[in-house]
Amino acid sequence: MTTHISDAIFDKNISPPSSQEGFPAEPFLGDDVDTPEWHAARMVIVGVAATVKAEIIHVMYDGYEGDPNKLADVEGVYNLCYTLAKGLGIGGKEALHVIPYFKGLVPEDSGVSALFVYPQGHFTVHTFDKKGTVFVDFAVIGKEIANPAEAIQRAMRSTFEIKRDEIFLRGTNPVDDPAEIPSAFGPHLTFGGQLSPDQMSLDWMYDFLEKIPKAIGMTPIAPPRVIRSTTPEGLTYRDGMAVIAESHITIHVDDSGTFLFDIFSCKAFDIESFMQWAESFGLKVDVPTITLAARGRDFPRS
């Protein structure tokens, strides 16, 4: 059956899940909420349905009007990400990869990408120094972390001197209006589902991640990274990430084959066609979990 994303994310008959424990009911902007420069900050909640059999924390942060020199500082980006990852409790043997992108096809899109992929989660930072912008994506499944969005917000403000920001938390509905995507930085598509037993391998995951950029007209800047880990209880997790010039693609699979997928891109792509391609590749998508957010709504295009 073909998934129609427009039907999935705007079906008023799909009941939104209750708020995930640990997510605030109201926007939080830190202790300096009364300062004038932060009144423009916004929080938008995007959703994942309760049918995905996992508790997930997923923070998406967009920061604007930062210091271009700090956003282009590779060492500084590394130090920030390493320190923040450890503070969030995700540091460890998984390597932090930092990829400068200063000689790409579009000179104005120069910046630094940093990423962790770890058991049942990922953490990415993408800076655009000439645009004064930074995008952060932090996801972790089945782990309690106190105030991760606030920690990320404070770190970005203090390190890059961000003056305006926007935070998305995947945990409750509603989703954004896709009509905003053409004027924004780009779409952030997320969904969950179930893999079959013959898809439960790193080989399948690598092949899947390697083929996606070509399928949607994106530019890979590094080979996919895939890892397998086993918990003390004997559960096996598989996690993977592909870094593209436009941002990143991730998939996280638990011991039962339940997966969570997301793709964040600065370049619009045909989402309906991608969903059909993903299903032709063998993904069984849980339609109520599909969400679509317009990231970077204040990203400077000129």
pLDDT (tens digit per residue) in 155-167: 999 999 999 998 8
Could you check whether the bond before residue 17 is cis, i.e. omega within 30 degrees of 0?
Answer: no
* pLDDT (0 to 100) of residue 75: 94
User: Cα separation of 274 and 272, whole Å?
Assistant: 5
Return the DSSP state at 235. -
What band does 282 get if pLDDT is binned at 50, 70 and 90? confident
> What are the pLDDT digits (tens) for 233-244?
888 899 999 888
- 6-10, 93-97, 293-297: range with lowest mean pLDDT: 6-10
pLDDT at position 132 is: 95
Which residues in 102-209 belong to E strands, given as ranges? Answer: 111-118, 121-128, 133-141, 164-170, 186-194
Global pTM?
Answer: 0.77
Mean pLDDT score, 81-95: 78
Q: In the chain, what is the straight-line distance between the N-terminal and C-terminal CA atoms, in Å? A: 41
pLDDT at 261: 92
Which of the four pLDDT bands, split at 50, 70 and 90, describes residue 34? Answer: very low
Q: Chain-wide mean pLDDT for the chain?
A: 76
In whole angstroms, give the CA distance from residue 166 to residue 63: 6
What is the tens place of the pLDDT at every residue in 97-117? Answer: 888 887 766 667 789 988 888
Q: Can you give the pLDDT at residue 89?
A: 82
Domains of the chain are 5-295 (3.60.90.10)
Nearest-angstrom CA–CA distance, 29 and 45: 14
Q: Give the mean pLDDT of 46-54.
A: 35
| pLDDT value of position 203 | 95
| Residue 156 to residue 150: CA distance in whole angstroms | 10
Give yes or no for residue 148 having a pLDDT over 70. yes
- For the record, the structure tokens of 193 come out as 């589902």
